[in-house]
Structure 1
Amino acid sequence: MYYFGISIDLTLTGLVGLKLAPVPALATLPFALISVGSWCATYPASAFMRRYGRKAGFVVGSGAAMLGGLASVTALYTQRFVLFCCGIACIGVYQAFAGYYRYAAADIHPPEQRGKAISTVLSGGVIAAVIGPFLATTVKDVLPVEFAGSYALVTVLALISLGVLSLLTADGPAAPTPATAGPGPEESGAPRTLKEIARQPVFLAGAVGSCVGYFVMTSLMTAAPLAAVRAGHTVHDGAQVIQWHMVGMYATAFVSGRLTRKIGAGWTLLIGGTISALGTAFAMAGPSHMNFMIALGLIGVGWNLMYVSGSALVANSYRPQERSVVQGIGEIFTLGGSAVGALSAGPVLNALGWAPMNAALLAPIAASALLTLAYLFRSRSTRRG
């Protein structure tokens, strides 16, 4: 239900923002607030679940989605841009809580199976990526005000999610933590500081890899429809580019977990960065519709590999008693990259243009690769020692 709801928001929020915004320059603000809301809420979400449990947190997230859907419907009826922004920010809060679904799956599996568990969670987005945009446009006119039906559907999906969550148990015992993350809970000693945890190569590679993957993906997903229209393509062409981008993002989940388990999360992270770089190369090659399609598809694949493997590395960096704090810090990195990408995409596109913008994204991809190589080198040296 989460993926269906978020796919509707990703498909329509830019269009509704353009319709309600007092000036065109603010049209992308609601879209950016999905990422900004997620980033602002991610650590409070972790703290809330540490105190009250994951199930309670997931219920609160679905409640935020219901509130956001209702606020968006009301904003469309009253033509209030600020209220629409508040409603979309609530969807960002929903995304912040839902981001811990993958950690809930990872924590009940041994280290070598965590990548597969995370990818299984993400695979639910495949159907939503294909059907979600279709649903969004199909029901947009079922209510008297255009697009109100779509956001009413978001509310209904959140309500269904609440019903499903009430039947689930999300607070199971954590699986053993690997030796690379430090002594297990059975070993005595003072708790590690955040500085000690964050200095681990496994954490740095994972957190930065997830952050860069999200930053690159969100930047290009936000800018691509506008760049496509500026290049002479239709609005439908731009929507098709995003649809294939989302398919690339989530269809890859069927293989990313297996790949992480077979060759390791570090190497999978490097492959994801390479594919993302290849996507930017296609974007720089020319403004044809096919180039947009291939570029955004590859960026989606690269994001999935970097997100799954980066999350798996973060999940291997903490002891069971540290998981809530470390997961929250990891999410700040990840969703911070998404928020910065969403907010900066429009200004950077206007300042540099489509091809130079893609060229500039090679720098953070390279930085992630260097940190990952450092982690792999350290891991190999530890095993030899």
Structure 2
Amino acid sequence: MTIDVIDDRLARRNSFILAGAQSFAGSIPAIVVAMGGLTGHYLLGADKSLATLPVSTFVAGTAIGIYPAAFLMKHFGRRNGFIIGALFSLFSGILSWYAIMQGNFALFSFSTSLTGFATAFTQQYRFAAADTASDTFRPKAISWVMTGGVLAAIIGPQTIIYTKDLFDPILFAGAFLAQSALAIFAILILMGLKFPPKQTKEQKQGGRPLLEIITQFRFIVAATCAAFSYALMSFVMTASPLAMVACNHSQEDAALAIQWHVLGMYLPSFFTGNLIQKFGKEKVVAAGLFLLASCSVVALMGIELSHFWIALVLLGVGWNFGFIGATAMVTDCYQPTERAKVQATNDFLVFGVVTIASFSSGSVLNAWGWEKLNLIMFPVVALCLALLALQWVRNRSLRESNA
């Protein structure tokens, strides 16, 4: 009992600090997602089919950065690793600004990949909070960290609105330079993190072989639900600003839509942990999947501003329930000595799928349109729900056999 209390005090402290860092570091992806496709459209010539490539390279950079981030944090500690990640954000923001000022689409796409690389470190915030938490507090620790996204939902889009025209007549450059300032704020907050010595000293990889862990049916279900919850969110979100502008809505409308979407992503985090404790991880994930499907239902009903905003809010809340619930499921699949390799593998799988979804989003929108893009949501949601149902059947059979 004493150990749990001590761990939870530390977990609460770190969760609070990580939530603060999340409010700034987490606002950077909102800038890339909201402005990446529009900036690509602005920088490209007649052929706009690759307009969303900077968003795709951002997501690919996140996938590529997962294992280096895990390696650096294993050898230099969580705190130092997170600061290194924020430094990448600082540098990539300056590089993005320079690329836009030079009209260089290729360099801009490369710079957003570096921002994605930095985001791989930010994605580990939720696991870092869980590392020092008791089993009871772990879902809340993950959820608490994600509440930082509420401020990120305001900071990111408002940063865009107030800075995108700073270098007029060159569009969008100011928003990406502002990214560097946000990274500096994150670094200052991250300096307050503390972890026990066992979290900051190099440890030999222990426990079961990785293949044995990731072939557990529970891990397969958790990783699949996490990957597709995130991928579907990214697939629709990436295309949304372009679809809105194509439907004669303004860039400011698109930025505000992303703000409401990011609020939907993170505002439920204040109670997602409690919902998981009350109803269970699988039920919360299932609720998230139903909300993701509801997003497409609303999107298919019309192209007015209200349709886009409501759909994007549902998309965000669905992601929150699906991704946090699935993350909590993943933490049940490994022992403390196994967590580094399992966490890294889970995030690599997640962002590998998200990369494909993000990369295909612009092409699907150009080739098939907004309506057909949203129809893709339904079979993927059905697959994840089927896996969750099978997991529930397996758990029930196991309980009955042990009774």
TM-score by length of 2: 0.86
Pairs within 5 Å for 1:121-200: 121-143=145-167, 146-170=171-195, 191-200=207-216
Q: Specify the code of the residue in structure 2 equivalent to 1:204.
A: I
Q: Corresponding residue for 1:319? A: 335
Counterpart CA distance in 1 for 2:287 and 2:27 is 28
Counterpart CA distance in 1 for 2:98 and 2:37 is 17
Q: Corresponding residue for 1:56? A: 80
Q: Corresponding residue for 2:290? A: 274
Note closer, same or farther for the CA distance 1:240–1:307 as it changes in structure 2 (3 Å cut).
same
Pairs within 5 Å for 1:1-385: 1-22=24-45, 23-143=47-167, 146-170=171-195, 191-384=207-400, 385=402
Counterpart CA distance in 2 for 1:211 and 1:49 is 23
> Is the contact between residue 27 and residue 156 of structure 2 (CA under 8 Å) also seen in structure 1?
yes
Counterpart CA distance in 2 for 1:375 and 1:108 is 28
Displacement, 1:246? Answer: 1.4
Instruction: Report the secondary structure of 2:137's partner residue.
Output: helix
- Between stretches 214-223 and 143-152, larger displacement belongs to 143-152
Displacement, 1:312? Answer: 0.6
Identity fraction in percent: 34
Note closer, same or farther for the CA distance 1:143–1:287 as it changes in structure 2 (3 Å cut).
closer
Displacement, 1:171? Answer: 5.7
Counterpart CA distance in 2 for 1:267 and 1:355 is 29
Give the superposed CA RMSD.
2.1
Counterpart CA distance in 2 for 1:46 and 1:353 is 38
> Is the contact between residue 104 and residue 170 of structure 1 (CA under 8 Å) also seen in structure 2?
no
Displacement, 1:28? Answer: 1.4
Counterpart CA distance in 2 for 1:114 and 1:195 is 25
Q: Specify the code of the residue in structure 1 equivalent to 2:27.
A: F
Counterpart CA distance in 2 for 1:283 and 1:71 is 35
Q: Corresponding residue for 2:13? A: none
Q: Corresponding residue for 1:179? A: none
Q: Which runs of 5+ in 1 are unaligned?
A: 175-189
Displacement, 1:232? Answer: 4.2
TM-score by length of 1: 0.89
Query: Which whole-Å deviations, capped at 9, do the CAs of 1:22-75 have from their partners, x for residues lacking one?
Result: 442232111221111101111222233223322232122111101101111222
Displacement, 1:216? Answer: 0.7
Q: Specify the code of the residue in structure 2 equivalent to 1:297.
A: V
Q: Specify the code of the residue in structure 2 equivalent to 1:65.
A: S
Note closer, same or farther for the CA distance 1:100–1:74 as it changes in structure 2 (3 Å cut).
same
Q: Which runs of 5+ in 2 are unaligned?
A: 1-23, 200-205
Note closer, same or farther for the CA distance 1:74–1:237 as it changes in structure 2 (3 Å cut).
closer
Q: Corresponding residue for 1:180? A: none
Q: Specify the code of the residue in structure 2 equivalent to 1:200.
A: Q
Counterpart CA distance in 2 for 1:334 and 1:116 is 21
